[in-house]
Amino acid sequence: MHSLLRFLSELQDVSLLLWQAFLSLWSKPRYYADTIRQMDYVGVGSLPIVLLTGFFTGAVLLLQTFETFQYYSMQNESGRLVATSLIRELGPVLSALMVSGRIGSAIAAELGSMVVSQQIDAMRALGTDPIRKLVLPRIVALVVMMPLLTVAADIFGLIGGGAVASLMYNQETSVYTYSVRTGISTSDLLGGIIKPIFFGLIIGSVACHKGLSTSGGTVGVGRSVTNAVVISSIWVIIFDFFLSKLLQYLLDIGRL
Segment 39-77, tens digit of pLDDT? 999 999 999 999 999 999 999 999 998 888 888 888 888
What dihedral angle (degrees, nearest 10) is formed by the CA atoms of 46, 48, 52, 53?
0
pLDDT in tens, 229-244: 999 999 999 999 999 9
pLDDT for 256: 47
**Contacts for 194 with CB less than 8 Å, ≥ 6 apart:** 243, 247
pLDDT in tens, 10-37: 888 888 988 888 888 888 888 889 999 9
Nearest to 201 by CA among 121, 100, 68, 81: 100
Residue at 14 is within a domain: no
pLDDT for 255: 52
Residue at 2 is within a domain: no
Residue at 4 is within a domain: no
Report the chain's mean pLDDT, rounded to a whole number: 89
What is the gyration radius of the CA atoms in the chain, in angstroms?
21
**Contacts for 177 with CB less than 8 Å, ≥ 6 apart:** 79, 162
The residue-averaged pLDDT of 77-96 equals 92
Q: How many domains would you assign to the chain?
A: 1
Reply yes or no: is the peptide bond before residue 137 cis, omega within 30 of 0. no
State which residues form the domain around 39.
31-251
Residue at 63 is within a domain: yes
- State pTM to two decimals: 0.91
Residue at 6 is within a domain: no
Residue at 15 is within a domain: no
Higher pLDDT, residue 121 or 201 = 201
